Structure 1
Amino acid sequence: MSWLDETLTTVTLCWRIERRDGVTIGLTAHDRDLTIDGLRYRAAPGMTPSAVERSAALEADSMDVHGVLASDAISELDLLAGRWDGARVVLFATDWAAPGDRTLLGEGIIGAVETRDGALTAELRGRTAAFDAPVGETTSPDCRAQLGDARCRAPMSGRRRFVRVLAVADAVLRVDGIEPVANAYGGGRLRWFGSANSGLDDAILRSEGDIVTLQRPPRFDGAGALVELIEGCDGRLETCAGRFGNAANFRGEPYLPGTDLLTRYPGA
C-alpha cells in the first residue's frame, strides 16, 4: 500500500466494536472523525493498544486497549452493566487523509474490563484463545447441560413467558404473573425488554408464586419494565425425570462413587 511507503505517513488506528445486541460503534485514534464504509469512527485520541503480535502459532493471541471513557460512546455504567461483554472488536490501520484502504491488525472479543479514574483497560482475546478451554468434561452428580440446549434437548415451547415487573426490592422482583410450578424459574434467566436494563439479562436464583429472586440486584431500576422469564432446572436427575421427562439426556453421573469411597469401611 502506497500510503505505508511514504516518508511522512498519515496512518491512524481504528476500532470497529460490535455488541451482541447489534449496536455497532467506531472509534479512531485520530483527532477528527472518519467515515469508512458508511460507519462514522469517532475521534478518541486517548485510545491506544498494547503491542500487537500476530503469528501462525497456536498460542492464544491477546492484547490490551487503554483509553479514556467517553460518555457518548462507551460509558462506565454500560461497561459495569455488562453491555459490552463478549463484543467483537476489529482493530485496523488506515490512511486518515483518504480513509478506505486498511491493514488488519487483529480481531477478537472483549474479555476482562477494568475501569479506574475515568479510564478503561479492555482485554481483547483472539480466536486462538479458544484453545485454552478444557477439552474433556469433569464428572459431576448434577447435569452439566443447560435446559433446552443441544445436549439437553428438552423442548422449551411454553417455558418462556413475558410478564411486567411491578416492584423491585434489592434482588427481589414482584411480577404480574404466577409461576406454573414451584420454583419454575430457579436456575433460569430473566431478559429485560424495558427500562434502563433493556438488552441485559440476569440469572434467577429462585422463584415462588409471583416473586422472582435474582442472583444479584438489577443494574438499574426496573419497576414497570417488560421482562421475559425463562424456566430453569436445578440439575438433579429427579427433576429431569419427573418434571421434564428427559432422563435419557441427563448429562451427569449421580451414582458414580466419589473419593469418599476410599474412606469407607465395613459396617459404615
Structure 2
Amino acid sequence: MAGIDAALRAHLEGGLTTVCHAWAILRTDGVRFGFTDHDLPLAFEGISFRADTGLSALALAQSTGLSVDNTEAVGALSDTSIREDEIEQGRFDGAEVIAWLVNWADPEQRWLQFRGTIGEVRRAGASFRAELRGLTEALNRPMGRVYQKPCTAVLGDRNCGFDLTAAGYAADLPVEAAEDARIFTWGDLSGFDDAWFTGGRFEVLDGPARGLWGIIKRDRFKDGVRSVELWEPVRGPVTVGTLVRLIAGCDKRVETCRLKFNNFINFQGFPDVPGEDWVMSVPKSTGRNAGGSLR
C-alpha cells in the first residue's frame, strides 16, 4: 500500500478499523457524482458521497510499470443517481473516476486507490457495468501524423486554427421540424449555400439533450425548405423549439481549405504527395514523369 499516509496506516495496523470505499465520477460536462459503500453519506474534497446508490467496484487490478490498470464498477440505475437515458446519451463516456479507501470516522484519513476514466458501459435491465481504465491507458493511443493528401486536422482544433465563431460559418436557430431526432428542416435558412453544412456538426444548445452533437450527413435546399440530415439520431429528445447550432462542414480537401475557409496556411495534409501510379512509373522518351496517372 505505497503512498498511504501515516495516520491511516496506523489505523489499519490497529486491528479494529472503520474504513469504507468511496468513488467520485467527474463527467466532461462538469456534473459530479459521489458514491460510497458505507451505510451513511460522506463528504470530503467538496464532494458529497451518497450511501444509497448501490454502486460498488470490483477488485482493483493494479500493477507497477506501464501495464494498464483496470477494474469494473457495477451499480443500479435510478432517477436520483445514474440514469438510463444519460448512459444511452454517452454522458458518462470518458468521465474521470477516482476511488479512495476512507476511514469513515475521520474522512481526512484516506488513500487514493485508483484514478482513471470510464471506458465501455454495458447495461443489463436495471443495472449497469462500467469498465474503468487506468491512467496508463492513454499510452495505448497511436501517436504521430498520417502521410496523406487530405487534411488530418479537425475543423477548429489547435492544428487547424480556424475560428468557428467567424461570421458565416455557424448558425444558432430553433428547430422548426424534426423527424426521428435525425432529420431537421427549416423554412428559411438564407445566407448559406446548398450543402454548406454537409460534414459539419449539429450541436444541441438547450433542453434535455443539451451538450449532445452529431455529424451532418446531408444538407439540402429544395422547394424552399432547408433539410439537414445526420448520420445517426441524436441520443436525446430534440423537439420543435430546441435551440441548435449548425457548423460548416469540411471535406479535408486542399481546395475547400483554401476557397471555403481561407485557411490554407494551416492545411495539415500533403496535397502534392505522389499517387500510387508513381510507384509503377517507368522512364519514357515522350511526355513528363510528373507523378500523374499512367496512360
* TM-score between both structures, scaled by the size of structure 2: 0.81
Is 1:94 the counterpart of 2:102? The answer is yes
Q: How many Å separate the matches in 2 of 1:150 and 1:260? A: 34
Q: Distance in 1 between matches of 2:37 and 2:246?
A: 42
Contact 2:171 2:247 in 1 (8 A): yes
8 A contact 2:213–2:234 mirrored in 1? no
Equivalent of 2:207, from 191, 195, 198?
195
Q: Could you tell me whether the CA contact under 8 Å between 1:143 and 1:250 is conserved in 2?
A: yes
Post-superposition offset of 1:258 = 4.5
Aligned counterparts, 1:147-186, within 5 A? 147-156=155-164, 157-158=166-167, 159-170=169-180, 171-175=182-186, 177-178=189-190, 180-186=192-198
CA contact (8 A) 1:163 1:177 kept: no
Q: Please say if residues 200 and 216 of structure 2, whose CA atoms lie closer than 8 Å, have aligned partners that are also in contact.
A: yes
CA distance in structure 2 between the aligned counterparts of 1:39 and 1:110, rounded to whole angstroms: 19
Asked if 1:16 is matched to 2:24, the reply is yes
Q: Structure 2 CA distance, aligned partners of 1:123 and 1:178? A: 46
**Match among 49, 55, 79 for residue 41 of structure 1:** 49
Residue 264 (structure 1) shift: 6.9
**Larger displacement relative to structure 2 (165-174 or 39-48):** 39-48
Shift of 1:222: 1.1
User: Max radius of gyration: which structure?
Assistant: 2
1:81 alignment partner AA? Q
Distance 1:185 1:249, change over 3 A: same
Query: Which structure 1 segments of 5+ residues have no match?
Result: none
Q: Deviations over 1:140-186 (max 9, x none)?
A: 33211011222112232222321101111121112463462332222
Residues 37 and 58 of structure 1, relative CA distance in 2, 3 Å threshold: closer
1:130-145, aligned counterparts within 5 Å?
130-145=138-153
Q: Distance in 2 between matches of 1:114 and 1:41?
A: 23
CA distance in 1, matches of 2:257, 2:30: 35
Deviation sequence 1:68-92 (CA, Å, 0-9, x none): 2233111121001011112111111
Which whole-Å CA distance do the structure 1 matches of 2:203 and 2:55 have between them?
32
- Structure 1 residues 259 and 8: CA distance shift in structure 2, 3 A: farther
Note if contact 1:28-1:43 (Cα within 8 Å) is conserved in structure 2.
yes
- 2:255 is paired with a residue whose SS is helix
TM-aligned CA distance change 1:11 to 1:188, over 3 Å: same
1:245 maps to 2:257: no
C-alpha distance 243-37 of structure 1, shift in aligned 2 (>3 A): closer
Letter in 1 for 2:58: S
Q: 1:221 aligns with which of 210, 217, 237?
A: 237
The 3 A distance-change label for structure 1 pair 179 and 172 is farther
Render the CA deviation track for 1:159-217: whole Å, top value 9, x for unaligned.
Answer: 23211011111211124634623322222222212222112222222323432211211
CA distance in 2, matches of 1:178, 1:215: 23
Q: What RMSD, in angstroms, separates the aligned Cα atoms of the two structures?
A: 2.3
Contact 2:116–2:135 (CA<8 Å) still a contact in 1?
Answer: yes
* Structure 1 position 14, deviation (Å): 0.8
Aligned residues: 268
Separation in 1, partners of 2:53, 2:207: 33
Contact 1:179/1:208 (8 A) holds in 2 = no
Q: In 2, Cα distance between the equivalents of 1:38 and 1:240?
A: 46
Alignment check: 8 A CA contact 2:62 2:70 kept? no
Give the deviation of 1:259 after TM superposition. 4.4
The yes-or-no answer on 1:124 pairing with 2:141 is no
2:247 aligned to 230, 234, 257, which one? 230
Match of 2:154 in 1: 146
